[in-house]
Amino acid sequence: MPKLERCHIPAGTSYVARAKPMVVSAALGTCVGVALFDTKNRVGGVIHLLLPEPVSSESVLYPEKYATTAMPVFIQSILNEGASHDHLQAVIAGGALVGPLMPQDLSLDIGGRTAEIVQTILKKAGIPIVKSETGGFFTCRLSLNLMNFQTKIEPLFREPPPSADTPEVPSLAEITRAMDRIAPIPQVALKILRLVDEDDYGLDSIAEEVRKDQVICAKTLQLANSALFSRGRRIETLDDALILLGQDLLVQLVVSVSVKGFFHIRGQGYSLCKGGLFHHALGAAQVAAILAAKAEKTSVALAYTAGLLHDIGKVVLDQFITTVYPFFYRNLQDPTKSVMQTEAEIFGIHHAQIGFLLAQRWEFPDSLIQAIRHHHEPENEEVFFELTHILNLADLLITRFHPGLELEQMQGHHLEARLQKIGLSVDQLLQIVDALPPHVFHTSPNSLAEVA
């Protein structure tokens, strides 16, 4: 039996092929996934749709993101590959609500509308839907095996093996010792974080810091050449990076590299795939930067940095998750409970509190300390409330539109009021999601090896 290759389909993309030893899958939150296949002619594919329909005039640039524009092309490409119209079958999954149990979610049911459009298009095309699991609050994975054309819809969180043992819950003293074992933040990284916080840095001062540290310099160039940043360009020196990426991207790159070492954690813990926690951080950072630029309330570089560091407390708790995972898993099934509440119940402390303690210990700027501390409840932050609200929204969007990286159940409570705090309205949410550049969703198990 040939080994099955795994192919991950990010939001706004699709994959179509004839029979081969491969499983194609999409990790779905609010997005909708459709598997289309013809078992007789042995052709199939999966599409991962971000939104129901084009949002603005710029949407024409990315027709593959929207159900109305992408579905007809997807069906045609399967037919072009040799499928017969009469034998096509479809399976639909995903379309979860943005925030659990929120009234505005019902009018803003992005996933539900995407699923409805998919159903209408398939019905018009005369393609039967053999299985459909959409809506609800949970993330799932839709997979299609291109050898036997069987589909699977399963929860993204791995189910624990049945165990009669009582899990060993670490004491607060053990958690504190684990915090002590975390290496201090490199001086160069701290210097760069402070420059970014002051918001009057020149690129020269950042580049000077980077040049002082050969490891950071080499890693900056390595990350600059990853798919996430290079977009196909070859970057050999810091000067190349500056010319090709520009000041904003270079600063983001340097900050990412400076703190990346903390995410080198072993075990499965919070990560759902290799490097998942770091990639969740990178995604939240990029979305936070986009929101900061749109809201014009806070520095883009600072929002990026806060996104990168918001879940730093999870690095400490990560090593204890495996032993208490059955508890965790049970709680994850409860849509009214956040990961943070579960952590507090099990460990007596949650990741935002640990992040706050670490940030204080490392003498981070106050803005970052408070944003990390209150990223799940931004209302509790009075001074840096804009940064904290931007961070909270970025975290919510990345967990709903790019799930599958790590364990997180962000809750959409007070969505309207939180958007208002940064001068945005619920009606703009669709535009915000639409404005996220496609590469934000491309940090995937396939691309992780480059930067993990």
Q: Which residues bind Fe ion (CB under 5 A)?
A: 311, 395, 408
User: Closest separation between CB of residue 152 and Fe ion, Å?
Assistant: 27
Nearer to Fe ion, 47 or 259 (CB): 259
Please give the Cα distance from 243 to 276 (Å, whole number).
30
Residue 67 contacts residue 49 (beta carbons within 8 Å): yes
User: Closest separation between CB of residue 107 and Fe ion, Å?
Assistant: 26
Residue 338 contacts residue 410 (beta carbons within 8 Å): yes
User: Closest separation between CB of residue 272 and Fe ion, Å?
Assistant: 13
Nearer to Fe ion, 48 or 373 (CB): 373
User: Closest separation between CB of residue 412 and Fe ion, Å?
Assistant: 14
Nearer to Fe ion, 141 or 351 (CB): 351
Nearer to Fe ion, 78 or 436 (CB): 436
Long-range contacts of 425-433 (CB under 8 A, 24+ apart): 426/104, 426/108, 429/98, 429/108, 429/110, 430/51, 430/55, 430/108, 430/110, 431/55, 431/56, 432/290, 432/291, 432/294, 432/397, 433/50, 433/51, 433/110, 433/397, 433/401
User: Closest separation between CB of residue 75 and Fe ion, Å?
Assistant: 36
Nearer to Fe ion, 213 or 408 (CB): 408
User: Closest separation between CB of residue 102 and Fe ion, Å?
Assistant: 19
Nearer to Fe ion, 209 or 408 (CB): 408
Identify the residue whose tokens are 């839907």: 129
